[in-house]
Chain A
Amino acid sequence: MERSLPVWLLAALLVALLILLPLAWLVVLSLSTGAGAGLGSYRAALTDPQLGKALWNTIVLAFWVGAFSLAIGAPMAWLTARTDLPGKRTIRALMLASFVTPPFLGAFAWVMLAGPNAGLLNKLYREVTGAQEPLLNIFSMPGLIFAVTLYTFPYVFIMIANTLELIASDLEEAAAILGARRVTVALTVTLPMVAPAIASGFILAVLQALALFGSPAILALPAGFHTITTQIWSYFQYPPKVELAAAASMPLLVATALLLWLQKRLLGRRGYASVGGKTGQRRGIALGAWRWPAFAGCLAVMACSIFLPYGVLAKAALSRAWAQPLSWDNFTLANVWFTFWQYSATQSAVVNTLELGVMTATVGALMAAVLAYTVNRRLVPGAQFLPFLVLAPVVIPGVVLAVGLFIAYTRPPLVLYGTLWILFAAYLTKELPVGYSQSDATFRGVHTDLEEAGRILGAGRLRVLREITAPLARSGIIATWCFIFIGVIRELSASIILFTPATKVISVVIFDLKEEGQFGAIAVLGLFMLLVTFATVTLMQALLGRDVLGVRE
C-alpha cells in the first residue's frame, strides 16, 4: 500500500464535494415547490413568457456571437499563422489584451462610444454627415452581439491559430505547385484540415456568449430585453424565487453540457488532419499586394476591441463629464480621488478582490497540480475518471454555479454566505478546469524517468514530488497560478449573486456604480483592474519565456 494514498484520495474527495454539492442542491431545489417535491418550478419557469423570451434572446445572441467570432477570428488566425503578414507580434499582443479584457468593461466602454445619442462615435458621425439618425445603437440586440463578439473572437483565434501552427505546409505547397491559386489553396486544402478546430472554436464562442452576465446586463436591460443569465439574476429580486432560478438554470446547464460534448467529439476526430507536430515545415504564404490591407483590417478589429474602448475609459476617468469634449476645463482627477478615497466601498473591494485572487490562485494551482499528478501517474484507483469531475465545472455557467452555491451554503451545516469563503468556493470551482488543463499539460511534459530514479534510490512518492517533479514543473505551475488569478479578479457572473456588502469585489462595485451612471468612477476602477491584469500577464510571460496564448513563435 502506497503511504501517500490518503493525500491523493483526500484531494479527489474534496473536488467531488466542491463540485457535486452545489449541483445536487440545484437539482433538489428546482424540484421542490415549497409544498413538496414536484415539477412545479419547471412548469412555472417554462410557462413564464418572460423566460421564454429570454431563452430565445440568448439563443440569438449566442449563435451570432459564434458566427461573427468565427468570421473575424478564423481569417486573423490564418493571417498570423500562415502568411507573411507584417506586425504579427503586435497583432498577437493585442489579441492577448483583448482576451484578458473583462467583457463587461468592454460593453461599458461601448456605451460611451456607441450610445445612440451621446455615444462619441455617433456624435462624430452626425457632425461629419449631418445625419439625424445614429450610426450605431449599442442598446440593441445587434449592439449586444457586436460588443460580446469583440471579446469572444480571441477564443476562436487561439483555437485555430494553434492548430494551424501544428499542421505542416507540404500539402498546401503541393497544391500550389500544381497551379492552385492562393485562395483556392486556403479554401480547399487548409480549410478542411482545420475544420474541426473551426467548429470547436465556434462552439467555444457560443458557450462564452451563453454564460455571459455583465454585457447583457449593461446593454440589453436598458433596451428592455433579458437574456437567460439576467433573467436568472432577476429572480433574486425580493421576494426571491430561488426555486424558479434553479429551474431556469437547467436549460443553460444542459445546453452547455451538450455543446461541450459535441466539441470534444469534433476535436477527437482531429486525427485525420496531418497534425504531425514534428514532420514537415511551415512556410509563410506570400500575401503580395494584400499584405498591408490585411494588416490594416486586423488593426481595425483590434481598434474596436482595444484602442477605442481603452481610450474612452481613460477619457471618462479624467473628465468631469464624459460626453463633453476633452479640454482643460473638463480635465479632473476628482474621479480618481472619489473612487479610491471617498467611496467607502472601493478600498475593501480592492482588498477582497486581491485576497480572493491570491487565495484562489494558490489553492487552485496546488490542487490542480496534485490532481493532474494523481491522474497522470494513476495514483488512486479510478484515476482515469477524475478528469471528468475536475473538468465538469466548465459546463456550469457562473450564474448557475452561483445559484447552486447560494442554495448550498445559506443553510446549515455550512453557512458560508456572507463570508469570503462562498466566493472562494465559487472561484475555485470555476477556475479548476482551467488550472487542471494547464497542470495536466505540464505533468505530461515531465518524464517519469527522473521520478523513477528517485524512487529506486528509496525516496517516497511525496518526497520525489517535492524534490524532483515540482522543481521541473515549477514554471508551469506558476503559469497556472497567473491564469487563475486573472480569471478571479474579473469574475462577475457568480459574484453578483453571492456577494454581501461586506464581501464586495471590484467587479460588483463596478456593477453597482453602473446602476447610478457613475461613469468616471467605473472607468477608474476598470482601468485599475486592467492594470493588475496586465501586470500579471507580463509576469507570466516573463516566467514562461513564451506567449501565453500558446501560439508558437
Chain B
Amino acid sequence: MNRARALIAALVVACAITGGAAWAQDPRLEAAKKEGKVVWYTSLVLPSAEKVAKLFEAAYPGIKVEVHRTGSQRIIQRVMQELQANIKTVDVIHTSDAGHFVMLKDKKLLAQYTPAGTDKFPAGFKDKDGYYFGLRATVNVIMYNTKSVAAAEAPKTWKDLLDPKWKGKEVTAHPGYSGVTATHVLALVHLYGWDYFKQLGQNRVMLTQSANDPPTVVASGERIIAVNGGEYSAYQLKKKGNPIEIVYPKEGVPLVVSPTAIAAFAPHPNAARLFTDFTFTRDVQQVMADSEGLYTGHPEVKYPADKPKLGELKLLTVDADELEKRNEEIKKRFVEFFGA
C-alpha cells in the first residue's frame, strides 16, 4: 500500500515537472472533465488495474476511472451482450486475446485512435490500421512450488509436463475464460498439435479460470506445477516472497500482447483518449514493468535485473486473425480434453 502511495506521489511530482504543464493545456481536458469518468473493461490483474486507475485519477483530478476487471473472454461476452441490448457503457476495452480486436474492428465497433508515443513501438504492438495497440505483454511459462519441487526435478520443457508423475499435481487456466491462455493453447498446438493437450488432459489437471490464478494456486501449494499462466503474476508473487519459481522452456514461450482500444460508441470519448494516452506514457509503462513485472512495447522502459529480457527469450507468436477464427475450436477441444 505504502509502495503504491509512494509511487503515486512520485508520479504526480514527475508529471508536474515534466509533462504536467503540457497536459494542463490539453484542449481535451475540459471536455474530459465534463464527461467526468472513463469506463475501463480490463483483463489486467486486479491490483495492477486498480493501481493504474489510481495513478490516472491522481494525475487528472476530477476524472474517475471505473475499473471492471474480468477475464478476456468474459469481457468480450459483456461487450457484445450489452451492445445487443443497446447499452453503451464501455469506453476502453483491454483484453489479452488479440483475436477479439480483429473481430471488433471487423464489426466496426472500434474507434481509430493512435495513442501518443506509440509510433516508437515495435510492429507486434500495433494494428496497421491504427485501431488497437499493445498496452502490455507477458509470456506463458511453467511455474512450480519451491517447497514441494526441487529445482533439479522441476519440469524444463512443455513436454516434461506430460509426465504421469505429475498426475493430480498440475493446474491450468482456461482458454474459455482467459485470452492469455487461448493464445498459449494455440501456440502450443502449432508446436505439438492437439495431441499434446489430449495427453496433458490425462494428468487430471486442476482448472482455474484466469491466467492469474495458476500462480496463486501454486504459491498456496494447492497444486505444485502450473502448466501455463501469466509470467507477470508469478513474478509478482515471487517478489512478495511466495514459494514459486518460474521456468522459461527453451522450445519457446508464447508471447501474449494484450491490446487496448477505444470503443466506437464510447460514451466518454475524450476521457477515453486521455486515459489511453496516459497508459502509454513512459511513466505508466515503467510502472507496469517495475512493480507488475510486465513487458511493454515502450523502447525506453527499463526492466528489473532479475527478469530475462524479451530479446533473450525464444518467443512463440500467434496471428491475431487465426486466434479469432479458431476461437471456438480452441474452447471446444479444451473442454473435450479437460472436462469443463
Identify the A interface with B (CB < 8 A).
Answer: 50, 115-119, 139, 220-226, 230, 234, 236-240, 321-323, 334, 337-338, 342-345, 410-411, 415, 417-418, 500-502, 512-513, 515-518
Give residues of chain B (60-76) contacting chain A, Cβ–Cβ below 8 Å.
65-71, 73-74, 76
Of the listed stretches B112-120, B158-166, B205-213, chain A binds B205-213
B162 CB to nearest chain A CB (Å) = 17
A222 contacts B89, C-beta separation under 8 Å: no
Give residues of chain B (192-224) contacting chain A, Cβ–Cβ below 8 Å.
204-210, 212-213, 216-217, 219-224
Q: With an 8 A cutoff between CB atoms, is B13 at the interface?
A: no
A259 vs B87: C-alpha distance when bound (angstroms)? 39
Q: Which residue of B lies closest to A415 (CB)?
A: B85
8 CB < 8 A contacts A-B: A220-B340, A223-B206, A224-B205, A343-B50, A344-B50, A502-B89, A513-B46, A517-B210
A516 contacts B206, C-beta separation under 8 Å: no
A517 contacts B89, C-beta separation under 8 Å: no
Q: With an 8 A cutoff between CB atoms, is B310 at the interface?
A: no
Contact mask B164-195 → A, CB, 8 Å, 1/0?
00001100000011000000000000000000
Contacts A238-B77, A345-B67, A500-B82; A224 near B340 (Cβ below 8 A): yes
B272 CB to nearest chain A CB (Å) = 15
A337 contacts B1, C-beta separation under 8 Å: yes
A361 CB to nearest chain B CB (Å) = 27
Which of B1, B67, B68, B80 interacts with A238 by CB under 8 Å? B80
A156 vs B219: C-alpha distance when bound (angstroms)? 40
Residues of A within 8 A of B66 (CB): 344, 501
Residues of B within 8 A of A334 (CB): 1
Q: With an 8 A cutoff between CB atoms, is B41 at the interface?
A: yes
Q: Which residue of B lies closest to A521 (CB)?
A: B46
B70 contacts A116, C-beta separation under 8 Å: no
B223 contacts A239, C-beta separation under 8 Å: no
A411 vs B141: C-alpha distance when bound (angstroms)? 44
Interface of A is mostly: loop
Residues of A within 8 A of B331 (CB): 237
Which of B68, B206, B213, B217 interacts with A515 by CB under 8 Å? B213
Q: Which residue of A lies closest to B205 (CB)?
A: A224
B210 contacts A516, C-beta separation under 8 Å: yes
Give residues of chain B (308-340) contacting chain A, Cβ–Cβ below 8 Å.
328, 331, 335, 338-340
Q: With an 8 A cutoff between CB atoms, is B78 at the interface?
A: yes
A237 contacts B89, C-beta separation under 8 Å: no
A224 contacts B207, C-beta separation under 8 Å: yes
Interface centre among B77, B168, B205, B220 (most CB of A within 10 A): B220
Chain B contact patch, size range: 35 or more
Q: With an 8 A cutoff between CB atoms, is B18 at the interface?
A: no
A113 CB to nearest chain B CB (Å) = 12
B5 CB to nearest chain A CB (Å) = 11
Which of A116, A239, A411 interacts with B80 by CB under 8 Å? A239
B68 contacts A501, C-beta separation under 8 Å: yes
B208 contacts A222, C-beta separation under 8 Å: yes
A239 vs B324: C-alpha distance when bound (angstroms)? 12
Q: With an 8 A cutoff between CB atoms, is B84 at the interface?
A: yes
A267 vs B71: C-alpha distance when bound (angstroms)? 47
A516 vs B50: C-alpha distance when bound (angstroms)? 14
A411 vs B39: C-alpha distance when bound (angstroms)? 24
A490 vs B45: C-alpha distance when bound (angstroms)? 26
Q: With an 8 A cutoff between CB atoms, is B228 at the interface?
A: no
A415 vs B224: C-alpha distance when bound (angstroms)? 48
Q: With an 8 A cutoff between CB atoms, is B59 at the interface?
A: no
B207 contacts A240, C-beta separation under 8 Å: no
A248 CB to nearest chain B CB (Å) = 15
Which of B54, B68, B85, B209 interacts with A418 by CB under 8 Å? B85
A522 CB to nearest chain B CB (Å) = 12
Q: With an 8 A cutoff between CB atoms, is B25 at the interface?
A: no
B217 contacts A240, C-beta separation under 8 Å: no
Which of A50, A234, A518 interacts with B46 by CB under 8 Å? A518
Q: Which residue of B lies closest to A133 (CB)?
A: B168
B207 contacts A222, C-beta separation under 8 Å: yes
Contacts A117-B222, A343-B50, A501-B39; A515 near B85 (Cβ below 8 A): no
A339 CB to nearest chain B CB (Å) = 11
A22 CB to nearest chain B CB (Å) = 15
Residues of A within 8 A of B242 (CB): 321
Which of B206, B212, B340 interacts with A225 by CB under 8 Å? B340
Q: Which residue of B lies closest to A221 (CB)?
A: B340
Residues of B within 8 A of A222 (CB): 206-208
B67 contacts A516, C-beta separation under 8 Å: no
Residues of A within 8 A of B335 (CB): 50
A223 vs B205: C-alpha distance when bound (angstroms)? 8
A236 vs B209: C-alpha distance when bound (angstroms)? 15
Residues of B within 8 A of A224 (CB): 204-207, 338-340
Contacts A222-B206, A323-B220, A344-B65; A240 near B85 (Cβ below 8 A): no
A55 vs B77: C-alpha distance when bound (angstroms)? 25
A64 CB to nearest chain B CB (Å) = 20
B213 contacts A238, C-beta separation under 8 Å: no
Residues of B within 8 A of A323 (CB): 220-222
